[in-house]
Structure 1
Amino acid sequence: MTPTELVLAAVTAIFVDADVDAARTLLAPGYIQHNVAVPTGADPILGFIPVLEESGIELTTHRVITEDDMVVLHNTYNNAQALGAETLVAFDVFRVENGQVVEHWDNLSVPPAETVSGRSMTDGPTEVVDIELTAQNKALVEGFISDVLQGGAPDRITDYISTNTYMQHNPLVGDGLHGLGTALAAMAEAGQEMAYTETHLVLAEGNFVFSASEGTIGETPTAFFDLFRVKNGLIVEHWDTVSEIPADMSHDNGKF
């Protein structure tokens, strides 16, 4: 199986079919876990599958982005009380090695009833196109992260984000550069200024580029998982999940 097929098979075994035996063949015994609430290793996942089945959890995968041995899924979990909320939007990131899934990162957010832009946290285009532009689009987003999100040269924002079309799926941010500026100003005024300090993963396929970063909102350590859609050399759409990084986790692997 390709990395994409392997990851989708593993997720299906765990969350859809509740097939412990299939999941056991797909997950490496030493599976490295970065979900802050789940112990590391395959056994905790395998042991939790009956609980997930009993809960009636439902998984919807909206987008799949693959780069080499890394696969990103943009997911919604419904009936997800076993994971901590009725509904959760997540970015799940998996690393594949030697025909098994060997590592997992994620970031989960509870979607609100309403968003500033009127868009949900998951709707919008899903098709991967412009494969030949993958490297170019990845470099664009890496520049945006360095110059704008990490503050290297924030005045260059229009070199990266379209001034005509910037569709926003963050629940608290409106469309366009004006919507972004308004939200950031309101956060700063409330003492909740957002800062990106380090980006650990940037993965791209065609028109989609994903990044996993850490930083702060106010003084709270925060994980930012972002997905950007690029068109004609500029970022035109953005999805994300944002969550606090707790001091205590169920393992020693860290969030990243």
Structure 2
Amino acid sequence: MNIKTVAASLLALSTFSAVAYASDANQLDANKQLVTEAINAMFVDFDPVATGNLLAEDYIQHNPAVPTGAAAIIGFLPALKDSGIKPTTYRILAEGDLVVTHNVYENAQAFGGETLVAFDVFRIEDGKVAEHWDNLQPFATETVSGHSMVDGATKIEDLDKSADNKALVEAFINDVLKGEAPEKITDYLSTETYIQHNARVGDGLSGLADALKAMQAAGISMAYTETPLVVAEGNFVFAASRGIQADKPTAFFDLFRLSNDKIVEHWDVVADIPADMAHDNGKF
């Protein structure tokens, strides 16, 4: 064994890995910046030129009420400006070509409510926003836990655990939310700290159990059936799922924060999936 040769190879490999990691991180930051600029162009400046430059011409829209294509968004800008809509972004995370933002929209009557909480998901292609999914829900001013629907931790950390945390959340969705092995719930949720931001659910496993019992008593069924989108960055994992709630097709957009290989905090936006949409792209 030539120790010098092995050492040189290991050094080269570690240097390559560090450069690749930095390149990936820079691309994620660039994607986040692009999405931030797009949100500002559409919902703060209402600027048709900037919006047209930031969106792909064949922009694919999944919001059920908005037609597909960049032209539809640009045509909607004057009405948005007149409405006085105001966005606030609380969290932003990215993986690959996807960026997720956790937002509150005030004066959001154009989208169906005075104040709405939302998850927006954007796909980036060739330096432009090429596709958009979202889920919106009325912002609750009172919650069982006392937490708001958007407060809580925001700092992204543990970047080296993104893949592990993503796999854990995917397993949690399959085992618990899809009902494949619900008895494994404590394999995924922390028994010490579980902070809940769903307005109808209290903190801890006991709060979750109480909410599920109340739903059962009211005859409200809930089931996750498919999870087309999962985005992980560090200690945050976002998942967009299709399912059924109260016998209606439903979209469940969930954000989880993890610590020490357990889910310790949860935010969500839940909305019915309408049968009729302004396009043929579907909710997902």
So what's the TM-score if we normalise by structure 2? 0.89
Q: Which residue of 2 is the match for residue 16 of structure 1? A: 44
Any idea what the Cα deviations from partners look like across 1:43-71, whole Å, max 9, x if unmatched? 11001111111111111000001001100
Which has the larger Rg? 2
Give the aligned residue type for 1:102.
A
Alignment of 1:230-249 (within 5 A): 230-249=258-277
Aligned with residue 128 of structure 1, among 156, 176, 195: 156
Q: Pick from 158, 161, 184 the counterpart of residue 212 of structure 2.
A: 184
Displacement of 1:181 in angstroms is 1.0
Partner SS state of residue 159, structure 1: helix
Contact 1:36 1:246 (8 Å CA) reproduced: yes
Q: Greater helix share, 1 or 2?
A: 2
Q: Deviations over 1:122-160 (max 9, x none)?
A: 000111111011011111101100100001100000000
Partners in 1 of 2:126 and 2:182 — Cα distance? 42
Q: What CA distance in whole angstroms lies between the structure 2 residues aligned with 1:200 and 1:28?
A: 22
- Alpha carbons 1:184, 1:193 under 8 Å: kept: no
Following superposition of structure 1 onto structure 2, how do residues 19-98 of structure 1 map, counting pairs within 5 Å?
Answer: 19-98=47-126
Match of 1:163 in 2: 191
Q: Show structure 1 runs of 5+ residues with no match.
A: none
Paired residue total = 256
When normalised by structure 1's length, the TM-score is 0.98
Unpaired stretches in structure 2, ≥5 consecutive residues: 1-26
Is the Cα contact below 8 Å between 1:34 and 1:40 reproduced in 2?
yes
Residues of 2 paired with 1:36 and 1:188: CA distance? 29
* Equivalent-residue separation in structure 2 for 1:70 and 1:113 (angstroms): 30
Give the secondary-structure state (helix, strand or coil) at the position aligned to 1:240: strand
Using the alignment, how far apart are the partners of 1:83 and 1:154 within structure 2? 36
Runs of 4+ aligned structure 1 residues displaced above 4 Å come to: none
What's the % identity of the aligned pairs? 63
What is the Cα deviation at residue 79 of structure 1?
1.2
Alpha carbons 1:132, 1:206 under 8 Å: kept: yes
RMSD: 0.8
Write the deviation string for residues 10-30 of structure 1: whole angstroms up to 9, x where unpaired: 111000111110000110111
Give distance in 1, aligned partners of 2:108 and 2:33. Answer: 24
